[in-house]
Chain A
Amino acid sequence: MSTTDLSLSFGGVHAVRDVTFEVDEGEVYSIIGPNGAGKTSIFNLISRLYEADSGNIEFQGEIISNLPPHNIARLGIARTFQNTELFEHETVLKNMLIGRHVHRKTILLSELLFLPGVAKQELRFRQVVEDVIDLLDLQSYRDQVIGSLPYGVRKMVEVARALCIQPKLLLLDEPSSGLNPEETEDVAFWIEDINQDFGATIIMVEHDMNLVTRVSNRVMALADGAVLAVGSPEEIQNHPEVLRAYLGD
């Protein structure tokens, strides 16, 4: 996955300026930066919710910056949202089953009649969902409606839903925001699990430097929409430009 000279502006505000970066397969790649640096904008560009002014996004050698947003998931790119965007009135299970949508093989007519093939597909979907539930320990929430769950669990459910796509690339938008220290600790564990057991490449926007240092292979620091530095977590933490962007002169 890579981007070249990606730019986006809203009126006079340059949210993303000529951002070029590359993420290797199997990597955990973190994007950090002060508020308004353009981190989430990059995510929204990758998932095609925003239209880039210029520049390309490439995934597995294919240019994806001209695809409609609903085709992105089909390629194996899943994401979560900063403030959770779950299907509020449905159960955890239903939410996760929606994550299987891209693997749908049945047509409308057979679904209207609920032919045996459709039923089999539902059971296959359920198998994958249960595997993800096991991985993230969500058993006790399976049949609960999202609206009644605490925030920390919702964040987990959102990750679970994304995993049901069985993505090759997972975009996590601030997985630890709003979580207590204990839950953040868990986040570190399951990021490692997802990366190693699931074999998914992860790009993560995150503010918690402890978490970033612990899980990421490489870190990119942004400020005002432009890349400041890319390197290992330690390098970035001591990088003079990065320190200036956070702390001022």
Chain B
Amino acid sequence: MRFVFKTKYRQDVDLFKHNGQRFWYGLLAIAVLLAPFILDSFYVGELALVYIYATAGIGLMLLVGYTGLVSLGHAAFLAIGAYVHAYLLSRGWPVPLSLLTAGLFTAAVGAIVGLPAMRMTGIYLAIATLAFAIIVEQVIAHWESVTGGYRGMLVPDAQIFGVDLSDGRPFYYLCLFVMIACLFAGLNILRTPTGRAMIGVRDSEISAQSMGIDLAKTKSIAFAISAGFTGLAGGLFAHKLGYLAPDAFTLLTSIQLLLMVVVGGLGSMHGVFYGAIFIGLLPQGIAIMRDTLPAAIGQMPGLEPGLFGLILVLFLIFEPLGIYGRWRKIRQFFDEFPLYRKSTHKRQKSYLRTERVR
């Protein structure tokens, strides 16, 4: 067990709490940087997809896990980012500028969607964002002059600094770079007043207000940042897909994204990555399963959404803190061995008003 001996306030502000963390994260950074040279190109592509999901996941985590606002409409932000990026590329914009514009545009849309969120929470907000996603889907399907409607839209081959993005490795590094940039931005937000305001809104709106936190502004900012990150992910996703069509961004995609943050563990940035790995690789797992299972089950239509739903429900019942929560428990078990008791993490009955499930 490690006890961090703090001698400066700065230590509480820093992202890395001690040298052990610096070492392990450094090692991880080297591993992901070297991965494309070691792994097969198929896995490099899959890993890039995981990074794209993680980028969107960081945005969604800020909204759902830290501000406490549920969104069932994040596929729409992903779609907006993807279409804006593809459209600008086809007009001859360079990749970095186009990607950034896609992110900013999506953030602006997010801020507008966030406005009604001032008055809504929980299930009502989920329904409102769901409606928004359906509207966006319809707009994309019918605005044929820009989006190509149901016929779809080809994402132009693009180059970044003279390197072709359709190649696996450069694309992998682009995704990695965007993800890490978003991660740092997200972590920075969380250690500054804006992030604390979000947490305040999540835990108690009444006292957040009397602490001087502007609820409407905070929620709107949370939506904007969340949408912006998801828009960036959408731009990258466009390259991954190669061909955009409205049915690539359906309700199932939104649920997948939400599944990612819940399964990963709400309220922790670590959770995003566990969740992204999980949903990035799950479709592959299901595909493999389809071949091995008896045909009656394996070839069943709707197996994928069904399994997603089932996993979500199982996590909510048995491990509400997600994979990251489970990991922390396992770590604590070894830290405190042999003193760990099963009841340590037992959920207590609570009687205070503020402890009730919202």
Q: Which residues in A have their C-beta under 8 angstroms from that of B212?
A: 70-74, 101-102, 165
Assuming A81-B206, A93-B12, A122-B13, is B191 touching A99 (CB within 8 A)?
Answer: no
Task: Name the interface residues of A80-134: CB closer than 8 Å to any CB of B.
Answer: 81, 83-90, 93-94, 97-102, 104, 106, 108, 111-114, 118-119, 122-123, 126-127, 130
Provide the residues of chain A in CB contact with B196, threshold 8 Å. Answer: 94, 97-98, 101
Chain A, range 55-89, C-beta contacts under 8 Å to B: 68-74, 78-79, 81, 83-89
Chain A residues touching B, range: 35 or more
Could you list 21 examples of A-B contacts with CB < 8 Å?
A: A68-B214, A85-B206, A87-B199, A87-B203, A88-B203, A89-B267, A90-B199, A98-B196, A98-B200, A98-B208, A99-B211, A100-B193, A101-B193, A101-B212, A106-B192, A111-B192, A114-B188, A114-B191, A118-B188, A126-B13, A127-B9
Distance of A130 Cα from B12 Cα, bound (Å): 13
Known interface pairs A85-B206, A87-B200. Does A101 touch B192 (Cβ–Cβ under 8 Å)? Answer: no
Q: A36 at interface (Cβ–Cβ under 8 A)?
A: no
Give B288-303 as 1s and 0s: 1 = Cβ < 8 Å from A's Cβ atoms.
Answer: 0000000000000000
**With an 8 A cutoff between CB atoms, is B7 at the interface?**
no
Asked if B210 and A72 sit within 8 Å, CB to CB, the answer is yes
- If A87-B208, A89-B267, A98-B211 are given as contacts, then 10 extra A-B residue pairs at C-beta distance below 8 Å, sorted by A number, are A49-B209, A84-B354, A85-B207, A86-B207, A101-B200, A111-B189, A112-B188, A112-B189, A118-B192, A123-B9
Interface residue ranges, A against B (CB under 8 Å): 47, 49, 68-74, 78-79, 81, 83-90, 93-94, 97-102, 104, 106, 108, 111-114, 118-119, 122-123, 126-127, 130, 147, 151, 161, 165
Interface of B is mostly: helix
What CA separation (Å) do A106 and B211 show in the bound complex?
17
Q: Residue B207 contacts which of A74, A81, A111 (CB distance < 8 angstroms)?
A: A81
CA distance A170 to B212 in the complex (A): 14
For the complex of A and B, 9 pairs with smallest distance between CB atoms: A73-B212, A85-B207, A102-B212, A87-B203, A111-B192, A114-B188, A104-B193, A126-B9, A69-B209
Chain A residue at minimum C-beta to C-beta distance from B204: A85
Residues of A near B197 (CB, < 8 A) are: 98, 101
Docked complex Cα distance between A88 and B192 (Å): 19
Smallest CB gap from B214: residue in A: A70
B339 at interface by CB-CB < 8 Å: no
Within 8 Å by CB of A83, from B192, B203, B353, lies B353
Nearest residue (CB) in B for A94 is: B196
B193 contact set on A, CB distance < 8 A: 100-101, 104, 106, 111
How many whole Å from B34's CB to the nearest CB in chain A? 28
A10 to chain B minimum Cβ distance, whole angstroms, is 17
Known contacts A89-B267, A112-B185; A123 and B210 CB within 8 A of each other: no
Query: How distant is the Cα of A74 from the Cα of B203 in the complex, in angstroms?
Result: 21
The residue in A85, A86, A104, A130 that gathers the most chain B C-beta atoms within 10 A of its C-beta is A85
Report the Cα distance A104→B194, complex, angstroms: 9
Which chain B residues numbered 192 to 235 have a C-beta less than 8 Å away from chain A?
192-197, 199-200, 202-204, 206-215, 221
B1 contacts partner chain A, Cβ-Cβ < 8 Å? no
Specify which chain B residues have a CB less than 8 angstroms from the CB of A47 in the assembled complex: 209-210
Residues of B within 8 A of A86 (CB): 203-204, 207, 354
Please, how many angstroms separate the alpha-carbon atoms of A64 and B29 in the complex? 53
Q: Please, how many angstroms separate the alpha-carbon atoms of A97 and B199 in the complex?
A: 11
- A100 surroundings in chain B (CB, below 8 A): 193
